[in-house]
Chain A
Amino acid sequence: MTATQDMIVPSFDDEATEGRKLAIICSKGNLDMAYPGLILGNAALGEGVELHLFFTFWGFDMITKGRMEHLKFTPVGNTAAHMPMALTPLPGMTKMATHMMQKSMDALDIPPVPEFLELIKGSGGHIWACRLSADMNHLKKEDLWEGVDDIINASDFIEMTDGAQLLFI
């Protein structure tokens, strides 16, 4: 008799996720828009899914040394901030809103962007920087966060994400 004869064993479906690939294009540099890609990407890695994050346009701030720690959230033009729109452009408002968002993220133990990227990298995620964005901003690989795998162009990205599920944020 085997001890585990009647055991209900969960199916972790390792084979089913074999070959599943997710690519997320991160194109925004606002603090609030930095998080969806990081959270979903991290979740995908935790489910055994291969992950590619591609940073382009404003999203480049997320992986640029000297900028990645200073992303901001602004209520300007954002009706979901639930405050009178006329007040949103007042001086100091963006600073305050950013501070509040950081505080609520911190309370939920959601790490700041650089630490979040470390987590994704440590979990085996791939981090790619957009060639055109680098050229536009006159940035080289050494100006980018050290976890960036490489600066690649649009064709490289399309080639590399063959068969992947894609998200544009």
Chain B
Amino acid sequence: MPTTTINGRDVAVDDEGFMTVYDEWDDSMGAALATAIGIEMTDEHWKAIHFLREDFKAQGETPTIRRVSTAGGIDTKQLFVLFPKKPAKKMAYIAGLPKPHGCV
């Protein structure tokens, strides 16, 4: 498993660069990850990312777009605006979580 330096700290990541240790993440990490993929974080972005973090903790898996919209209360259309093109993967990356496994 490779490690990489994010925000001056060494953290474990998978081959693609997704963080693999839940507790190595904090908001400053999230902000650095967002910058790396060209996303400027706003309160709305953080709302989605914090939902992902909480839901992962509770459910043991990364929520899908549908779950972020139904359980997290953020409209699907808005998710595509906030995290263009590939919201599910981009949110997971910024939140320091694995890519979602669910199909829907």
| Chain A interface residues toward B at CB < 8 A | 3-12, 14, 17, 39, 42-43, 46-48, 108-111, 116, 119, 122-124
Interface of B (DSSP majority class): mixed
* CB <8 Å contact, A46 and B6: no
Bound: A17/B16 CA distance, A = 18
* CB <8 Å contact, A14 and B86: yes
* CB <8 Å contact, B90 and A12: yes
Interface residues of B in 46-104 (CB under 8 A from A): 65-67, 69, 75-77, 80, 84-90, 93, 102-104
* CB <8 Å contact, B5 and A3: yes
- Count: A-B pairs, CB below 8 Å: 83
Chain B interface size band reads 20 to 34
Interface of A (DSSP majority class): loop
User: Cβ of B90: which chain A residues have Cβ within 8 Å of it?
Assistant: 12
* CB <8 Å contact, B65 and A4: no
* CB <8 Å contact, B2 and A48: no
B13 at the interface (CB under 8 A from A): yes
* CB <8 Å contact, A10 and B18: yes
Q: In the assembled complex, how far is the CB of residue A57 from the closest CB belonging to chain B, in whole angstroms?
A: 25
User: Cβ of A42: which chain B residues have Cβ within 8 Å of it?
Assistant: 104
* CB <8 Å contact, A123 and B36: no
* CB <8 Å contact, A46 and B65: yes
